[in-house]
Amino acid sequence: MHESSVSSEPSRAPRHALCVALIVLLWLAVYVPGLWSPPLLDDADSVHAEAAREMMLRHDWSTLYVNGLRYLEKAPLLYWSMAASYSVFGATDWAARLPLALGVLALLLATYSIGRHHFDAQAGLYAALALGLSFGPYIYTRILIPDILVALWLTIGLHCFLLGLEQPRPSLAACWGLAAATALNVLTKGLIGVVFPAAIIVAYLALTRNPRHLLRMRLASSFAVFLVIAAPWHIVAGLLNPAAGDARGFFWFYFVNEHFLRYLNKRFPRDYDTVPLLLFWAMALLFLLPWSAFAFKAVACVPHCWRSINALNHRGRALLLFAIAIAVVIGFFSFSSRQEYYVLPALPALALIIGAWLSHEQRSPSASPLRRAGQRIALASFVMAVPLALSAWGLLWFSQRVPPQSELADLLTSNPSEYALSFGHIFDLTPRAMGMFRPQLLWIGIGFFFGTLASWLLRRRNRAGAANAALALMMFVSLLCVHSALVTFAPILSSRALADAVAPLYRPGDVIVVNGAYEDASTLNFYGHLPLHVLNSRENGDLYAGSLFSDAPAVFEDDASFARLWRGGGRVFVFTPKGQIPPLLQQTGYRTIARSGGKMILENHP
């Protein structure tokens, strides 16, 4: 064989211990710093942290409470883990984030192990790197939402199913492992925890003309394992929160309103938006950039004709199952209301398919079609990265230097119609505001330009491993910049500074009123441990269902009750957006306690 047709890279597989150490170091460097900064954000982030704090204080592990009201929207597993973390470390923001961060580490290690088992160690390592060093998994673990854990349990469950396919009769470990992972997913996110693996497995067995395998999966004992894990909380929560008066109870609100009506985009209250369908489809690729540049070639290697499907080997079974998983997750949400992060459960499967292709490319001969495809993809990535880098540098050039102590809120526009999206505040940025992000713009431009350039040049020299390392370094720098940008943007998204200002002043008998929805000021509830009253927003947020129960505390104010509070003898603090001070306060006067991020704390008595 000619020298030019032989791979110029070492063919020895990376050592298992070295791969695990590399993944753990990546996690420590990228994800652990985010435990302490930025502060928890208003809305879902601090709402969920507060629900876990009140769970710990009440010693009630069956019913979630927020601000003293029942919070029946969510499955409990994330909150159990946060409450347990509080019990050990105290109710701090980093303790709230720790279980989710450990879930990310578990997902990275599981993805590596699954890739190593079904493909090779290099494929598993590349899959873990793609997940750990990409925008989607990183940004949506900056918020305390459980979707990355959904990805973890789904991926482990599918691995157990594949293990069963390799055996003449699936073992108890494989079947019960699938059942346990499915049950944990139900406790993490609800019914999709069972819908996803069931749909994926049925579709796979139908495509491979092997429906009889279902009968070998120890269905009776597996179902028993599932029920033992998943059923008790649902039963207890339903019994402790029955329908009464205006409250329809746990079973209606959790299953009907939060599952079926939300899926049909008819859930009440409607405090969310839905991502356009084409954009949602693109999210799987956007969230895994730059690794998803190889996705089209990687997915093309999935068995897709009847002849190849009917003669699947070990590798082919895994590729086909992971491709079906991507299609099921994205297809399921294509017919429902959807947020950007709903695509997260599909990402480990896509990362594994990409990792398998990258490993195959690296082991292929130097002049092989795989090598040439990798070079073309790297060139295309560089061509697309150049305008992105130039745009970052252009914003850096035209942005104005911001004087020290400037308030970011004064440099932004306001687009409330976008705030139902998880990161809708990004649309508030202006060229002047970009002056607050000059270092990040510089380094992201450098990273994208030189990272993709290095990937292309190294692939031209048949050094695919070094090229992938260059992409990993590029994303490491980029994610550090994202973290730094979130810290800079934190005063807009979080009211931690206001909580720190009002908490020392608060005395028993004082009242804090939120001019808006509870979620707008939920960090005051968590950081200050302060009960909040809500003005004219009972039906605009997470507290509505809990407010219907007869034992709900009276925390909702209308204009008349608020006027009595404000003019009464007690001290009242008001949290309000800067430009939305209630007319009553403008008439009677007020004292300003603190300002931060375009929000204010006002007081009626000096």
Domain ranges of the chain: 22-363, 369-489, 497-603
Question: In 141-277, at which residue ranges do the beta strands (DSSP E only) sit?
Answer: none
The answer to whether residue 120 scores a pLDDT higher than 50 is yes
Q: What is the pTM of this model?
A: 0.92
Look at residue 407 in the predicted model and tell me its pLDDT. Answer: 66
Tabulate helix, strand, coil % of the chain (nearest 5).
65, 5, 30
The answer to whether residue 470 scores a pLDDT higher than 70 is yes
The answer to whether residue 430 scores a pLDDT higher than 90 is no
Q: How many residues in total does the chain contain?
A: 606
CA distance 169 to 164: 7
The answer to whether residue 415 scores a pLDDT higher than 60 is no
Vertex 231: Cα angle to 228 and 236 (nearest 5): 120
Tens digit of each residue's pLDDT (9 = 90 or more) over 523-581: 999 999 999 999 998 888 888 889 999 899 999 999 999 999 999 889 999 999 988 99
Tens digit of each residue's pLDDT (9 = 90 or more) over 486-509: 998 888 889 999 999 999 999 999
Look at residue 520 in the predicted model and tell me its pLDDT. Answer: 92
Tens digit of each residue's pLDDT (9 = 90 or more) over 56-108: 999 999 999 999 999 998 999 999 999 999 999 999 999 999 999 999 999 99
CB 366 within 8 A of CB 4: yes
For the ranges 85-99, 275-289, 398-412, the maximum mean pLDDT occurs at 85-99
Look at residue 416 in the predicted model and tell me its pLDDT. Answer: 59
Look at residue 6 in the predicted model and tell me its pLDDT. Answer: 46
| Tokens linked to 17 | 């211990």
Look at residue 2 in the predicted model and tell me its pLDDT. Answer: 37
The answer to whether residue 3 scores a pLDDT higher than 50 is no
Three-state secondary structure readout of 194-225: HHHHHHHHHHHHHHCCCHHHHHHCCHHHHHHH
% of the chain residues with pLDDT over 70: 91
Q: How confident is the model at residue 409 (pLDDT cuts 50, 70, 90)?
A: low
Element (H, E) at 556: strand 556-557
The answer to whether residue 402 scores a pLDDT higher than 70 is no
The answer to whether residue 53 scores a pLDDT higher than 70 is yes
The number of angstroms, rounded, from the C-alpha of 95 to the middle of its chain's C-alpha atoms is 17
CA distance 356 to 364: 12
Look at residue 592 in the predicted model and tell me its pLDDT. Answer: 93
Residue type, 230: A
Q: How confident is the model at residue 5 (pLDDT cuts 50, 70, 90)?
A: very low
CA distance 52 to 79: 5
Q: How confident is the model at residue 310 (pLDDT cuts 50, 70, 90)?
A: confident
Mean pLDDT of all residues in 119-128: 95
* Residue 66 backbone class (left: φ over 0; alpha: ψ -120 to 50; beta: rest): beta
The answer to whether residue 390 scores a pLDDT higher than 80 is yes
The answer to whether residue 417 scores a pLDDT higher than 60 is no
Mean pLDDT of all residues in 231-254: 93
Residue matched to tokens 């997915």: 299
DSSP H helix total and E strand total for the chain: 25, 8
CA distance 151 to 367: 37
* 411 vs 279, higher pLDDT: 279
CA distance 70 to 264: 24
Look at residue 266 in the predicted model and tell me its pLDDT. Answer: 84
CA distance 561 to 546: 20
Look at residue 357 in the predicted model and tell me its pLDDT. Answer: 95
Mean pLDDT of all residues in 222-230: 97
